[in-house]
Amino acid sequence: DQQVKQNSPSLSVQEGRISILNCDYTNSMFDYFLWYKKYPAEGPTFLISISSIKDKNEDGRFTVFLNKSAKHLSLHIVPSQPGDSAVYFCAASRGGGGSQGNLIFGKGTKLSVKP
Amino acid sequence: SQTIHQWPATLVQPVGSPLSLECTVEGTSNPNLYWYRQAAGRGLQLLFYSVGIGQISSEVPQNLSASRPQDRQFILSSKKLLLSDSGFYLCASAGGFVRELFFGEGSRLTVL
């Protein structure tokens, strides 16, 4: 059972335009959401996060939106740059100790930004 | 911030051979440590996590095992590799009140 879903395996965007990456989750107990960026043959790097008490968090060109009623979050990149081309993973976790706090990852979306 | 070191970076092993991937963490103490695998066409799958020395929890039954002999050392092992063990293995660390994971550079394992 996939608790975090990224239904688009790939996305292609023109440089300068907006990139929108989507993520859906099923577990209503998740209270913290993160986006990671991964280049080939490298480990993922943390990009931006959002707590469930917020509906928006912005960091430079990156904004994450959370719609709790729809169990949906999205990552907006504006303007998109060729260096943004990578695989983006959505992740979620719930509070609590033990395995409850572990991050659950989606399968990733490969973003290609064309010059 | 934390730094995660993983080695070897690349490994090609025959089926049935043993495996040992090592991970060490700097910049934190008593972290939660994790082993993830990214197989072709799949996301990041959690294999093991550890909340302390000698404490290992397995998320997926398989022929792999993990050990944590020291606070900031995490080892992934196998006695006999299978073809299906091929993939990109990532060690990760989380510490304190941070709910983010810091990942190492990964180890690419190819089983032939």
* Residue B85 main-chain phi, psi, to 5 deg: -80, -10
* Pair of tokens at residue A72: 């949906």
Asked if A113 and A81 count as a contact pair (C-beta separation under 8 A), the reply is yes
3-state SS class at A84: helix
| pLDDT tens track for A91-105 | 999 876 666 578 889
* pLDDT given at position B59: 84
* pLDDT given at position B23: 97
**Would you call A64 an interface residue with chain B, using a CB distance cutoff of 8 Å?**
no
- Per the listing, tokens 């060729």 go with A82
Cβ atoms < 10 Å from Cβ of B29: 9
* pLDDT given at position A2: 80
Asked if B86 and B39 count as a contact pair (C-beta separation under 8 A), the reply is yes
Domain boundaries, chain B: 3-111
CATH 2.60.40.10 assigned to B3-111: yes
Residue A89 pLDDT grade (very low, low, confident, very high; cuts 50, 70, 90): very high
pLDDT averaged over every residue in chain A: 93
State mean pLDDT over A63-88.
Answer: 97
Contact residues, B window 77-96, toward A, CB-based 8 Å cutoff: 88, 90, 92
Q: Which of B46, B101, B109 to mutate to test the interface with A (most CBs of A within 10 A)?
A: B101
Residue A74 pLDDT grade (very low, low, confident, very high; cuts 50, 70, 90): very high
State mean pLDDT over A18-22.
Answer: 98
* pLDDT given at position B60: 80
Domains in chain A with CATH codes: 4-114 (2.60.40.10)
- Partners of residue A42 in chain B, C-beta under 8 Å: 105-106
| Residue A52: C-alpha distances to residues A65, B61, B75, B90, B101 (Å) | 10, 32, 34, 27, 18
* pLDDT given at position B99: 78
* pLDDT given at position B18: 97
Contact at CB, A106 and B43, closer than 8 angstroms: yes
| Residue A78: C-alpha distances to residues A15, A24, A62, B60, B102 (Å) | 10, 21, 7, 38, 25
Helix (H) or strand (E) holding A91: strand A86-93
Which parts of chain B have pLDDT scores under 70? 41, 61, 95-98
